[in-house]
Amino acid sequence: GIIMRIDKDRIQDKNQKDLKSHQESFDFLSNRLEKNNCNVNDIIDKLSKFQVAIPSWALGAGGTRFGRFSFQGEPSTLEQKIDDVGILHALTQTAGAISLHIPWDVPQDYEAIKQLAVSHNIIFDAVNSNTFQDQKNAEKSYRFGSLSNREKTIREQAVQHNIDVINIGRKLGSKSLTVWLADGSNFPGQNNFQNALQHTQDSLKNIYGALPDDWKMFIEYKPYEPNFYSTVIQDWGTSFMLANECGEKAYTLVDLGHHLPNSNIEQIVATLMLKGKLGGFHFNDSKYGDDDITVGSIKPYTLFLIFNELVYGMNNNPQNPYPAWMIDASHNIKDPLEDLIQSLEAIQEAYAKALLIDQAQLRAAQIENDVVRCQEILQNAYRTDVRPLLQQARLTTGGALSPLHIYRSLKVRENLITARGVNSKAVGL
């Protein structure tokens, strides 16, 4: 197939036009920050190293349960999905990984797939199992649950699928498995809660038994949807308990959209990191439920507060491993690549603002119970326009000063449509 890529020279070339004005705003901001005891170089370094995995299912326009409007030039093969992530990474230098969903993305030729990823400088992050849909030619149906099912043979099929996913991931160099279950019930009385939880725990332990020593297992929770009365792994507490039952390689995964309205997600993050159990993170934003819309488009201040806890945990909790970051968003109407560029920018922005917080001053204000000053310290950081820092980070790593502008001016989508055809469709959600 045709490999789509944007080489660094094109990007450098396009950057020229905005270089001078960037330099001006960067100098102005870094002077001000240095005066406030910020180590700007350290922040730039942290921003350049922060890499977020792109899930294979975010590269096509997502659907709602009422329909899906494909976006022209969507990737229809795994190779094309990797090419898309390559484009994102070339422009932003922050999307250096892809997260595959099995069976949507089973590789045919492993060596070729690995080489393609290497050529784009991207690695394979967590592999995701899927027992929320019945697969083609599946012997048993997950209609009434997978790992939690009353029927042993159905649980066994679901466990085996997860083991198959681990083996696929091993061949690609992945180091973690993410398990998200749709299991639950739609009506009171449909399920025995205790049996469903016990079965889930036993099944997860069987999967954990097949996990290589240097792998992690992430257990994702979600309160509702697709089941609307009960979900077996409904909240962080249930996930945490199951992870503890499985063992030290099992962790909780926080997806921003998987909380009931007004939950204090930053506090959940702090609790899990203190206990060394925050393994992975799915970024998205929402107004109502698990809306999976562009990161930072609705609640950017909450995202900042969450990053404040993440930064604190990364600095103070050696018991917690470095979390696996992933975007879990995909929308119905935007160009998926433009949407992901916006999400990556919002993530970096929240991270940069959290890095500006003067932790020593905040501690001092907390000790004095100076509530007003505590709030001022957080909000001073939040109100700073950090975009020149993001641009500087991209400049030093060979990315685009303005990824979205360059994406449009290079007519990337138009080229993808020419290469792949108007009706090319992504497999997945």
Q: Which residues would be at the binding site for ligand LRH (CB under 6 A)? A: 57, 128, 180, 220, 222, 255, 282, 290, 328, 429
CB of 225 to ligand LRH, least distance (A): 7
Instruction: CB nearer to ligand LRH: give 249 or 282.
Output: 282
Instruction: CB nearer to ligand LRH: give 86 or 428.
Output: 428
Please give the Cα distance from 307 to 356 (Å, whole number). Answer: 11
Which ranges of 36-151 does DSSP label H, i.e. alpha helix? 40-49, 78-92, 110-119
- Contact letters (x/-) for Mn ion, 346-375, by CB under 5 A? ------------------------------
CB 386, CB 43: distance < 8 Å: no
Residue 285 is classified by DSSP as: B
Which residue's Cβ has the minimum distance to ligand LRH?
Answer: 180
Locate 91 and state its tokens: 């422009």
Determine if 255 is a binding residue for Mn ion (CB under 5 A).
Answer: yes
Which region, judged by CB under 5 A, interacts with Mn ion, from 8-16, 228-236, 323-331, 402-410? 323-331
Amino acid at 5: R
CB 116, CB 157: distance < 8 Å: no
Instruction: CB nearer to ligand LRH: give 18 or 290.
Output: 290
Q: Closest Cα partner for 428 from 32, 82, 96, 77?
A: 77
CB 55, CB 327: distance < 8 Å: yes
- Contact letters (x/-) for Mn ion, 270-309, by CB under 5 A? ------------x-------x-------------------
Instruction: CB nearer to ligand LRH: give 225 or 376.
Output: 225
- From the CB of residue 338, how many other CB atoms can be counted at a distance below 10 Å? 17
Instruction: CB nearer to ligand LRH: give 123 or 429.
Output: 429
Locate 334 and state its tokens: 């935007």
Q: Closest Cα partner for 158 from 210, 195, 114, 112?
A: 210
Which region, judged by CB under 5 A, interacts with Mn ion, from 37-45, 247-255, 343-351, 407-415? 247-255
Please give the Cα distance from 146 to 179 (Å, whole number). Answer: 11
Determine if 89 is a binding residue for Mn ion (CB under 5 A).
Answer: no
Binding site partner of 79, from ligand LRH, Mn ion, none, Cβ cut-off 5-8 A by kind: none
CB of 230 to ligand LRH, least distance (A): 16
Which region, judged by CB under 5 A, interacts with Mn ion, from 68-76, 249-257, 262-270, 414-422? 249-257
H or E element that contains 231: strand 230-231
- Contacts (CB under 5 A) with Mn ion, residues 189-228: none
> 5-20 burial, b for 16+ CB within 10 Å, e for fewer?
ebeeeebeebbeebee
Amino acid at 349: E
Binding site partner of 81, from ligand LRH, Mn ion, none, Cβ cut-off 5-8 A by kind: none
Determine if 101 is a binding residue for Mn ion (CB under 5 A).
Answer: no
Q: Closest Cα partner for 216 from 185, 252, 267?
A: 252
CB of 130 to ligand LRH, least distance (A): 7
Please report where in the chains the tokens 């409904």 appear, as a residue.
234
Locate 16 and state its tokens: 């020229």
Instruction: CB nearer to Mn ion: give 290 or 338.
Output: 290
Instruction: CB nearer to ligand LRH: give 219 or 377.
Output: 219
Q: Closest Cα partner for 387 from 374, 377, 400?
A: 400
Instruction: CB nearer to Mn ion: give 128 or 391.
Output: 128
Binding site partner of 57, from Mn ion, ligand LRH, none, Cβ cut-off 5-8 A by kind: ligand LRH
Please report, as ranges, the residues that interact with Mn ion according to CB under 5 A: 255, 282, 290, 328
